[in-house]
A and B are shown apart, each in its own frame.
Chain A
């Protein structure tokens, strides 16, 4: 059965061309900002010299930090509690976390704006609604990561063992459960980070400064700088996923699904 198939090589080569051609083209394009100079790092110089770049990038960093904190606070205790006390609720909770796959970001934004535009809860005037949208977007990834992590350990036994030794909830969670979940939590965190940093739909439609709309704005007004930004953004995703893969060595069953953007 293990004979090398020429077709396998051809398909693989085609796949690699599809993967790398756009990246090579983007790199090539980003180096052409100056006439008659190749390679020219002018596009990168412009991007890194633009104060808007830093302020928008900074905003996205802030949104992703807030999203990660809220998402962890919601998902980790809930998933732990489901594993420890309410295993029969697991499918229900999982179903809720998967809603971003059913309700597209643009539709969710539409619903949120209509509901929280005006009294009694005008959340739209604060970035809270944006962070809430991102938290929902992070649900499937965060839940999946934490759920996989909790499944690998015996939550009930660990909790009861700690309790019988006189540990309180704080000790149980921070000294017993979390250290066992380190890899799972970190992969959820980095995936959320990668998603929020490149997100466009929510930030653009809710009108908050972020890296995604900044990229789009530059794309509509400049020629070569967008290519440089695309590379920076790709490096960011590649870095985050690389860290996840590195952390998750040997952990199986953790393949992630992408959502629509």
Chain B
């Protein structure tokens, strides 16, 4: 425990009648262990990435690394792949997760199914990484369950028809497994927050179901929907282990390139690795800013 000096009264003192007037407080010292840890292992590494992004091979100041990141074909394509996978799984997972949350909350399904879905979503949204990749290799891989099923039913080997799951679409199917449960987890309380009175008020005023959704429910839900979709985007964008275990380094994602750069200077330029990482941090930071802005807007209606 941190022993932090504070302005508590001495043992024999009578309590003050009024709170002491603004005195300089040492209370912030209590945060020092945490702050020092954060500075040493979060702030400094991040700062070193930023600084080294502007360093050339001789340690001189340069914009070349950043220019390379946005012009070199392999790096641009890595960003394109990462961004498109994130967009596909954010929109797909968001849509499906919303429909699923809607089905169990407002679709009139038994309440027990809802508890089950939310619990399972809690597990599934954390079930990412290596084991998830294995599970999908066992499902749609070369000798996976679906592959064999399709082959025995129709005689077609889906992997022989020039179809491979080790690309953007295959990886998207895998990512969806942790993406849509996250949407369910966040949208379920938001849908719960739609008050019955709002719907009744609309019906009393003669609104159709479509009008209720278009003019009342959707505008209220929109910040949560957009915010969570952005969160899913960032979630997929930063993923590494799942993609690595699923495709090895076949698929050219930004995280995979950075991982390769750590294990052995695959870019043959340490500054470039930093610039690549900086690009990721900027995109992730934009995502989180968008998410928290949307969350604040969403909070207006959820009490």
Residues of A within 8 A of B (CB): 1-5, 7-9, 11-12, 14-15, 18-19, 21-26, 28-30, 74-75, 77-78, 81-82, 85-86, 89, 93, 96, 98-99, 101-115, 132-133, 135-136, 163, 169-170, 173, 191, 194-195, 198-201, 204-205, 212, 215-216, 219-220, 226-227, 229-230, 233-234, 237-238, 241-242, 244-245, 255-261
Which residue of B129, B135, B255 contacts A199 across the interface (Cβ within 8 Å)? B129
The answer to whether A104 and B284 have CB atoms under 8 Å apart is yes
Expressed in whole angstroms, the Cα–Cα distance for A199 and B126 within the complex equals 11
Q: What residues of B have a CB within 8 angstroms of the CB of A260 in the complex?
A: 128, 234-240
Residues of B within 8 A of A226 (CB): 134, 137
- Contacts A173-B1, A261-B240 known; A219 to B133 CB distance under 8 Å? yes
Smallest Cβ-Cβ distance to B129: which chain A residue: A261
Further 6 A-B residue pairs, CB within 8 A, beyond A29-B143, A114-B52, A198-B131: A81-B31, A102-B287, A107-B258, A112-B41, A215-B134, A256-B185
B134 touches A24 (CB 8 A): no
Most buried by B among A15, A18, A26: A15
Question: Within the assembled complex, what's the spacing in Å between the Cα atoms of A110 and B257?
Answer: 11
Contact status B104-A12, CB under 8 Å: yes
| Contact between B103 and A8, CB atoms less than 8 A apart | yes
A77-B30, A194-B126 known; A114 and B48 CB under 8 Å?
yes
A230 CB to nearest chain B CB (Å): 4
Q: What are the residues of chain B within 8 A of A15 when measuring CB–CB?
A: 96, 100, 103, 117, 180
| Interface core residue of B119, B134, B238, B245 (most chain A CB under 10 Å) | B134
Residues of A within 8 A of B108 (CB): 2-5, 8
Bound-state CA distance A12–B99 (Å) is 9
B177 cross-chain contacts in A, Cβ below 8 A: 18, 22
State which residues 121-151 of B face A: CB under 8 Å. Answer: 122-139, 143-146
Complex: chain A residue closest to B128, CB-CB? A261
Tell me the bound Cα distance from A89 to B127 in angstroms: 33
Q: Say whether B299 faces chain A, with CB atoms less than 8 Å apart.
A: no
User: Which residues 192-217 in B have Cβ within 8 Å of A in the complex?
Assistant: 196, 199
A176–B31 Cα distance when bound, in Å, is 21
Interface of B is mostly: helix
A-B CB contact pairs (8 Å), 25 listed:
A7-B103, A12-B113, A12-B117, A23-B135, A26-B139, A81-B30, A82-B31, A101-B234, A104-B255, A105-B238, A105-B240, A110-B273, A111-B48, A114-B52, A115-B48, A136-B42, A200-B129, A204-B244, A205-B262, A212-B130, A216-B244, A230-B138, A237-B127, A241-B122, A260-B236
Within 8 A of A (CB), among B265-283: 270, 273-274, 277, 280-281
Contact A258 B119 (CB under 8 A): no
How close is B206's CB to chain A, nearest CB, in angstroms? 17
Are B288 and A101 touching (Cβ within 8 A)? yes
**Is A230 in contact with B124, judged by CB distance below 8 angstroms?**
no
Give bound CA distance, A1 to B200, whole Å.
10
Residue of B104, B143, B199 touching A1 (CB-CB under 8 A): B199
Q: Is the CB of A8 within 8 A of B234?
A: no
Whole-angstrom distance between the Cβ of B138 and the nearest chain A Cβ: 4
